[in-house]
Amino acid sequence: MTVNLTTVLSSATRQVVISRDGPTVVIGERINPTGRKQVLAAFAAGDFEIARTDALAQVEAGAQMLDVNAGVPGADEPVMLRQVMQTVMAATDVPLCIDTADPVALAAALSFYKGKALVNSCNGEERSLKAVLPIVKEYGAAVIGLCMDDDGIPETPEARLAVAGKIIERAGKLGIPIEDVIIDPLALTMGADSHAGRIAMDTIELIIKEFDVNITMGASNISFGMPDRPYINSAFIAMAIHAGMTCPITNPLVTQVITAVLAADLAMGRDDYGMRWIKAFRKRQKAAGAAA
């Protein structure tokens, strides 16, 4: 297999490179009405100001890409996704991760997006592969492949690897290069199964050994139902980076989490002379000074 696969994403004016040779790319998760009542209510009312402020705050906190989800029950998703994306693109030029389960909304979004977007997501279900991959190919995007298929989320790392392999193969048959498939091993909550974190990390290692693709993960749900979640999330994100995760989807506004990412990059030897670490420290100091 090839080594050091690199995924290059872009907006009209900015490029982001994801690889295990470079710093971790944080994809900000907050522009998403799912589970955020305030966002849901605002979007439903046609008010997208919260998307603008969330975009700016996440980029300021260290996000290099932004996930954009506009899934409001009952709303016209193609229209609303476009409105949210345009709001975000007017506020910042970081590349977007277009997060929708609706192929029509996805195609519409990709048709006006300038640059190379990341699509969140397809999975190993036949229906998903057939609906999403041709659109990804048509618009020259990259895609996140979730390790689940028609039988659900496999329990073992080996079975999740098999799903990843299936997605990569099917993408390849359509002409989507392997470096444009980013795999999500799926981190379930440890509150339900205390081995959920370990299974996700072991899956990352298996997938990298076999395919060397970039790895993303929703790294916040792992601690659901547990106390002191930021401590768990920050340890887990550092460990997942050691395992090989390159572009977590997480909330950069949680200081412990974004700091764990920077510290993990430092420990992985991806922060020469600790310059990024020291710069972020000064920024925290300044923010603390301004707050006081």
Judged by the rule CB under 8 A, the positions of this chain that interact with a second copy are 190-191, 194-195, 197-199, 201, 222, 226-228, 231-232, 234-236, 238-239, 241-243, 256, 259-260, 263-264, 266-269, 271-274, 277-278, 281, 284
| Beta carbon nearer to a second copy, 128 or 223 | 223
- Residue that has been written with the tokens 């076999």 in this structure: 210
| Beta carbon nearer to a second copy, 45 or 288 | 288
| Beta carbon nearer to a second copy, 77 or 271 | 271
Q: How far is the CB of 277 from a second copy (least distance, A)?
A: 6
How far, in Å, CA of 62 to CA of 53, rounded?
Answer: 14
| Beta carbon nearer to a second copy, 172 or 274 | 274
| Beta carbon nearer to a second copy, 90 or 287 | 287
How far, in Å, CA of 38 to CA of 44, rounded?
Answer: 10
Q: How far is the CB of 149 from a second copy (least distance, A)?
A: 24
Where are the extended beta strands (E) located within the chain?
7-10, 15-18, 27-31, 65-69, 96-99, 118-123, 142-146, 181-184, 249-250
Contact by Cβ (8 Å): 217, 183 = no
How far, in Å, CA of 113 to CA of 66, rounded?
Answer: 14
In degrees, rounded to 5, the angle at the alpha carbon of residue 181 between the alpha carbons of residues 180 and 187 is 140
Q: How far is the CB of 215 from a second copy (least distance, A)?
A: 14
Q: How far is the CB of 77 from a second copy (least distance, A)?
A: 35
Q: How far is the CB of 243 from a second copy (least distance, A)?
A: 6
